[in-house]
Amino acid sequence: MNHVSPTLRPGASPTTPAMPGVITGGDAMPIIRQYLRIALRWRYVILGAIAACFILGLIITLLMTPQYTATSTIEISRETGQLTNFQGAERETGVADQEFYQTQYGLLESRVLAERVATQLRLVDDKAFFERFGVNQDDAAFREANGRYGAAGRPARQRIAGKILLNNINIAPTRLSRLVEINFTSPDAGFSTRVANAWAENFIQTNLERKVQATSYGRNLLQRELAQAKERLDESQRQLVTYAEQQRIINLPAQGSGENTTAERSIVADELAALNTALSQATAERIAAEARFREAGRGGQSSEALRNQAINTLRQRRAELAADYQRLMVQFEPDYPPARALQSQIDQLDRSIAREESRVSGSVQAEYRQAAGQENALRERVERLKSNYLDLRRRSIQYNIFQQEVDTNRALYDGLLQRFKEVGVAGGVGVNNISIVDPADIPQAPSSPRLLINLAIALLAGFAIGAGLALALEQMDEAIADPGEVERRLGLPLLGSVPKVEGVEPREALLDRKSDLVDAYLAIQTSLGFTTEHGVPRSLAVTSTRPAEGKSTTALAIATMLSRSHKKVILVDGDMRSPSVHHLGGVDHDRGLSNFLAGQDNIGELTFEMTDLGFTAMTAGPIPPNAAELLTGHRLQLLISRLLESYDHVVIDSPPVMGLADAPLIASRVEGIVYAVESHGIRSSLVKTALQRLLAANAHILGGVLTKFEARKAHYGYGYDYGYGYGREKVDTSR
């Protein structure tokens, strides 16, 4: 594996993500692949849950009692059809009034309707009905007398029966229509049909009864209001007549008055209006007579004189005589007898004309005086009537108040009377706005249980339960199963993973350069080359949380791989409590690390060569009484310094961390720590505790190695494989 994450800094704390089982970070696996990995890892749990739910669903379905659903369809109209244009006492519903339908749906599911249906079908006293729906009949309402239920418990049984019907009824409005389906489900197909039809019929009946009750209530209310309005009208009329009699106010009905008001006119007002009109006419006549009188003062030049036929005749005759007289004067003297005779006639005509003009002038003067007298008489009468009218107006203020009250009461009474008549007619001819479209038929097949649907639901439930269990187990499982979990759970850079092989000793597997073990550790060596600026650390220790996690095999393999890269390497067995390197070299551990730590300085006597693997090894030496005391001093640091003078790399097989103080002491002396973690073998919480101990000792942890990894159990998606099919030697990597 060429990519190596940065090493864990000293003092840093390995952390776990918020949700165990899901990788986070920039290089994390896609979420779908993560859940797929969880599903594959816990596939048997998921399949077991699905199988269990499937079998349980099948058993429950086969054991369920068949249920039959009967459906009746009704139509609920917004407007009520009527034979007249009169409105009833109920308010007419608007076209967009959706509350109307919601109210109707609620009425269809009302307790009163359910109990009414139960009563009509005689279910209240039907023992088979309560047994059919599994009602506990130990209640006092179900006490029997003479083989029948007692009458005392009837109200309670009615409530129970209504509740049973409500629990099994389903009101299903058809979307974007006025149709509503009434579905009733029970174990008896015939019973379901009877209840569905009875439900629709009783709903229609209750709707009609509500309308009748509303109309009846409205009629009674209007009747009471009418009686009160009649009393108020009579009282106001009596007050009006009494006041008019006291004040001697006499009014006549006005012509053209409306039906709802009593318009009246006063006699004084009528007389004043008539006299005022006569006064105006008399004034006009007086003015005309005065004009004629003034004009008559001019004598014969007045228009009256000019229009007088007698005067005009006399003047014409005088003109003729004057003409004859003038002809005589041409020939004769005035004393000529015919001339004197003509002159005498002319004088007589002049006197007649004067008398006639005087008569005309006197006639005009008499007409003027008569007109003036009549005008003055009318004016005096009008002034007297004005005073009387003003007095009447003052006395009519209260009268008008009483009159307005009479008009108001009469209008209110007439309106209530008309409404009372309309409500009575509307209540008698109203048509129900609810009708049955399709009555319920006896169902031929049960509506439930439905085997396929129930099994599908059981499969979905099983899958959901299995997925939940898988996620729960994934979160509770602290085992390190996949290489990616080394980084995700522990916060350690992953150096590589080692496959689990059995049946072959590690030394033999390392000698075969085509084995899977060699391929894995070559990758680990490559990763170690990127951990420091100078490549593979010169001194490193290999440790683990507990024994038998493969740390000794890892230390042996790292030393082998480094030696094959032409490096001079020494492997030191630092586990003085349970040494193992001497077994690999076929020697005893009479001389080794414990001797040097105890004071022996000759390193050459403490080492031996592992020629086949190409490096030098140092055993743990005799097992001391307390290894930690030997490691506490400066001798270990001195040993590493002297070994680095002769070797390129010093690899120490360190004891496990948990329960011992040896590993932290060794870790603080080397350049870096390689941490071995057993796949599917240890809880991550223990590993993190061990890492905290190493970090507390200021150890530099280079990374982790996942040992005993089985790719077929990981299902991680990386496709781990080793050796490319060359050989599959089985190696014991438990040490």
639 inside domain = yes
User: What does DSSP assign to residue 724?
Assistant: G
Answer yes or no: do 491 and 415 share one domain. Answer: no
Answer for the pair 41, 479: CB distance below 8 angstroms, yes or no.
no
| Distance (Å) of CA 99 to CA 87, 141, 177, 254, 436 | 20, 39, 15, 52, 22
275 inside domain = yes
**How deeply is 162 buried, as exposed, middle or buried, from its count of CB atoms within 10 A (0-12, 13-18, 19+)?**
buried
pLDDT of residue 223: 76
Point out the residues of the chain with pLDDT beneath 70.
Answer: 1-29, 79-97, 147, 214-215, 217-218, 250-268, 270, 290, 292-308, 423-431, 477-478, 711-735
216 inside domain = no
Answer for the pair 549, 555: CB distance below 8 angstroms, yes or no.
no
Which residues does residue 572 pair with via DSSP β-bridges, in sequence order? Answer: 618, 652
Answer yes or no: do 362 and 270 share one domain. Answer: yes
pLDDT of residue 718: 43
Answer yes or no: do 269 and 398 share one domain. Answer: yes
Answer for the pair 666, 640: CB distance below 8 angstroms, yes or no.
no
Answer yes or no: do 370 and 489 share one domain. Answer: no
**How deeply is 645 buried, as exposed, middle or buried, from its count of CB atoms within 10 A (0-12, 13-18, 19+)?**
exposed
732 inside domain = no
Answer yes or no: do 631 and 696 share one domain. Answer: yes
Q: Which domain holds residue 36?
A: 31-64+449-476
497 inside domain = yes
DSSP string, 45-80: HHHHHHHHHHHHHHHHHHHSPPBEEEEEEEEE-SSP
Locate 436 and state its tokens: 């049955």
| Distance (Å) of CA 300 to CA 248, 289, 304, 308 | 59, 18, 8, 10
Number of domains present in the structure of the chain? 3
pLDDT of residue 256: 53
| Distance (Å) of CA 200 to CA 107, 173, 177, 194, 732 | 11, 14, 18, 10, 82
Locate 414 and state its tokens: 């007439």
Answer yes or no: do 598 and 691 share one domain. Answer: yes
Answer yes or no: do 470 and 603 share one domain. Answer: no
Answer yes or no: do 633 and 517 share one domain. Answer: yes
116 inside domain = no
CATH number at residue 664: 3.40.50.300
Query: How many CB atoms within 10 Å of residue 607?
Result: 20
Please, what is the end-to-end C-alpha distance for the chain in angstroms? 23
Which among 356, 266, 368 has a CA at the least distance from the CA of 310? 356
Residue the block writes with tokens 């209260």: 398
Answer yes or no: do 471 and 493 share one domain. Answer: no
663 inside domain = yes
Locate 239 and state its tokens: 């007050």
Residue the block writes with tokens 């507990």: 546
Alpha helix stretches (DSSP H) within 297-336: 303-307, 309-331
Answer yes or no: do 671 and 698 share one domain. Answer: yes
Q: What is the pLDDT of residues 11-62, one digit of tens each?
A: 344 433 333 333 334 445 678 877 887 888 788 899 999 999 999 989 988 8
Cα 445 from Cα 230, distance rounded (Å): 67
Extract the runs of DSSP E, i.e. beta strands, from 342-493.
434-438
Q: What is the dihedral of CA 379, 380, 384, 387, to 10 degrees?
A: 60
pLDDT of residue 8: 43
pLDDT of residue 228: 85
Q: What is the pLDDT of residues 614-636, one digit of tens each?
A: 999 999 999 988 888 888 888 99
715 inside domain = yes
Answer yes or no: do 649 and 503 share one domain. Answer: yes
Answer yes or no: do 577 and 460 share one domain. Answer: no
